[in-house]
Amino acid sequence: MVLRLVLLALGVLELLRPRKVVDFWMGLAATNGDEIDLRPWVYSAARVEGALLVLWALRRSRGGE
C-alpha cells in the first residue's frame, strides 16, 4: 500500500515536472552534475515512465488488493 502511494506520487511528479525529477536524480548519480548534458528525449521518457507508474498504481488499487 505504501509502495503504491510512493510510486503514484513519483509518477505524478514525473508527469507534471519531468525536468525537475530527472535533474534531481542525475544530480545524485553524477559526481560533477554541472557538466552533464542530457538528450531532450530523456524528459519525454520520464513523462512516459510517470504515466506508466500512475496507471499501474491506479490499476493495483482498483484490483481489490
Residue 18, CB-side half-sphere exposure with 13 Å CA sphere: 14
State pLDDT tens for residues 42-60: 999 999 999 999 999 998 8
pLDDT of residue 61: 74
The rounded mean pLDDT for the chain is 88
Q: Is residue 63 helix, strand or coil?
A: coil
Report the C-alpha dihedral over residues 19, 22, 27, 33, rounded to 10 degrees.
Answer: -60
Q: Is residue 12 helix, strand or coil?
A: helix
**What pTM was estimated for this model as a whole?**
0.80
